[in-house]
Amino acid sequence: MRESAAPLVGIIANPVSARDIRRVIANANSLQLADRVNIVLRLLSSLASCGVGRVLMMPDREGLKVMLERHLARKHGPDAGLAKVEFLDMPVTARVDDTFRAARTMREAGVDALIVLGGDGTHRAVVRECGQVPIAGLSTGTNNAYPEMREPTISGLAAGLYATGRVPPNEALASNKRLDIEIRDPNGNVRRDIALVDAVISHEHFIGARALWKIDTLAAVYVSYADPQAIGMSAIAGLLEPLGRHDPGGVAIELAARGQGEFDLHAPIAPGLVEAVPIANWTRLSDGVPHRVKQRSGIVALDGERELAFGPADEVTITLKENAFRSIDVAACMRYAATSGLMRRLELR
């Protein structure tokens, strides 16, 4: 947190999360633009009530910025009760590069916290660039294993109480795990990326549609934690060997061809889509110990999206890293606020 400065919070809202093909095949609803704007307005209200007067926000060209500005124009004035929004001055590409750039710019601007609206992929992109800035995640995507389902008003209060220094870091923040992926070619060139929840190895050789949902194409699943209530590829591990997001270690699972596994595990790999997954074997991952991928060529999907292709001569390793980034523990913040009487002394605007 910055010293002797007014609290500053960043908001990164993915305007197109929850619109990939998994939503189509699973008959799931997509979050509309107006719903995202309403979420941001609730955040601005709760942040302002904590004394956060200024918020930085990522621009977009899907209409979220325009619609939000229209709403804010009707709520102007000192009694509006909303934190002031400043959109970053940055080029907009409508690609994940926007999220990378926004997170990096907000980190450099010294934000005290980052609130993220999106699914696993959006949060992963933010974590790649946010450094030690803690994030508060709001689930608005297709795969939402990392961001929790919470009312934005409460998440905004927790972020605001932390950003203004009312809840100390040792009470407000949680440490999180991630998976580090490394692909090394015969010439020694290395490509690196991360996953917050799961890295999946596919037999496919082309990125194509980024979303991943066909079980027959999968070879292995690596997870940093395994929640049996999750949706997505991490649900496979969650229903096989549950592991909390703050517990030590991870899980690596080898999948088999249809009819050749030790057993079939039925898992919800997308909203409304439960599939039989043939399990060959599984093992635990330890902090900092690289695990070499057996598959000789294919695609690595990170948090549900195909990202990296590798060939027969490449060496792929996946390493679990504990204490990799910080997040705002909303429940802990609100519990501290209650037991310390913070809300009794909070001056609402």
pLDDT digits (tens, 9 = 90+) for 284-324: 999 999 999 999 999 999 998 888 999 999 999 999 999 99
Q: pLDDT band at residue 211, thresholds of 50, 70 and 90?
A: low
Q: Determine which of 75-84, 115-124, 136-145, 229-238 has the lowest per-residue pLDDT on average.
A: 75-84
In this prediction, residue 349 carries a pLDDT of 46
The CA-atom distances, in angstroms, between 207 and each of 212, 269, 299, 308 are: 10, 19, 7, 8
More confidently predicted of 268 and 24:
268
Residue 4 in this model has a pLDDT that exceeds 70: no
pLDDT at 18 over 50: no
- Report which secondary-structure segment, H or E, holds 128: helix 120-130
Indicate the DSSP class of residue 141: S
Instruction: Using the predicted structure, report yes or no on whether residue 205 has a pLDDT greater than 90.
Output: no
pLDDT tens, residue by residue, 161-199: 999 999 999 999 999 999 999 999 999 999 999 999 999
What is the reported pLDDT for 323?
97
Say if residues 102 and 90 touch (Cβ distance below 8 Å): yes
Give the number of other CB atoms < 10 A from CB of residue 35.
11
Bridge partners of 192, per DSSP, are 182
Q: What is the mean pLDDT of the chain?
A: 90
pLDDT score, position 113: 98
pLDDT tens sequence across 132-170: 999 999 998 766 789 988 999 999 999 999 999 999 999
Sign, CA torsion 234/240/246/249: negative
pLDDT at 291: 97
CB-based contacts of 233: which residues, under 8 Å, 6+ apart? 143, 198, 200, 212, 218, 221, 223, 269, 301, 304
Could you give the domains of the chain?
Answer: 8-175+325-345 (3.40.50.10330), 177-324 (2.60.200)
Residue 17 confidence class, pLDDT cut points 50, 70, 90: low
pLDDT at 253 over 60: yes
Angle between helices 33-49 and 64-74 (to 10 degrees): 50
Query: 53: burial class by Cβ within 10 Å (0-12, 13-18, 19+)?
Result: middle
Percentage with pLDDT > 70 across the chain: 89
Summarised one tens digit per residue, pLDDT across range 67-109 is 999 999 886 554 578 999 999 999 999 999 999 999 999 999 9
Per residue, what are the HEC states of 234-301?
HHHHHCCCCECCCCCCEEEEEECCCCCCCEEEEEEEECCEEEEEEEEEEEEECCCCEEECCCCCEEEE
Segment holding 137, helix H or strand E: strand 135-139
Q: How many CB atoms within 10 Å of residue 275?
A: 17
**Model pLDDT, residue 91:** 94
